[in-house]
Homo-oligomer: A and B are copies of this chain.
């Protein structure tokens, strides 16, 4: 049987309370006693039973998620947060969601500035990368609230943690796919983006360009065209670019609005155009199924949400999460390995 606090107490010749104090680093224990207890812990190979501790503690972690309205990917994210809310009693969390208009830094700032430090231990947000938002995040940090950025990072801020994929690597991955799909052919590659005010879009564009230019010299980038993740604007951008560039052989949409892409892709081009997009949604599944999209790069927003919760809880307890453990993978899906 694995040792308990009782065993430690007996072994160290002290009481339960003292053991508990040492175990939890609480003050009011003589250095000598601390050492006795630590020696006993060491000798017996004690490991704390976390669920018993949580049971006794009865602590809950009030968390706030700030998510933009808009594209269906964000709806998926919100669904994952809601599903985490279902589990919240088991995980001792108490989660609130605030939705804000997309591409609206002021709205995010307003929400962040209204957070009550007494009622919230951690905030997770999908950030627009602007100075005002960074400043608001830093203010939260100053008030002792931990902040995790979700999906899109805020590199200029002092946020506690970023829960998302390495978007530079995602861009490189897209380039690796498109380069191989074009297999030696030469031509233009259209890059469509949502907004360069989103750090994830910025990073993807940069990673894509780096690899395409260095490894696939026959391919030339057109764009990135900014569409604010609006499907209609995506459609028009694609139509315009294709008309203007008869030698277009690939498209990379690194933002949202895939519906517009699907509408713009003339059936006639099937088989000639390599198309890579982001995020598995109903639309992108359809694109894959119909053979209009060749690959979808995905981030598992369920993982991201769960990671954000773990990180925020850990920080609230003064622990540092293992960052290796929390890395979010860049998934690649063809129609054949869709989950």
Contacts and interface: CB of A to CB of B under 8 A. Distances in A.
Interface residues of A, number: 40
Given A51-B55, A55-B52, A337 B332 contact: yes
Interface string A259-287: 00000000000010010000000000000
Contact of A330 (B184, B271, B274, B337): B337
Contacts of A336: 169, 172-173, 175-176, 207, 211
A100 B252 CA distance: 48
A52 B52 CA distance: 7
A24 to B, nearest CB: 18
Contacts of A90: 49-51
Interface in A287-339: 294, 297, 327, 329-337, 339
A335 B175 CA distance: 11
B51 A177 contact: no
A2 interface: yes
A73 to B, nearest CB: 18
A182 interface: yes
Q: What 3 pairs between A and B have smallest CB-CB spacing?
A: A51-B51, A183-B183, A330-B337
Given A211-B336, A327-B339, 13 more contacts: A2-B89, A49-B90, A50-B90, A51-B55, A51-B90, A173-B336, A173-B337, A176-B334, A177-B334, A180-B180, A184-B271, A329-B331, A332-B332
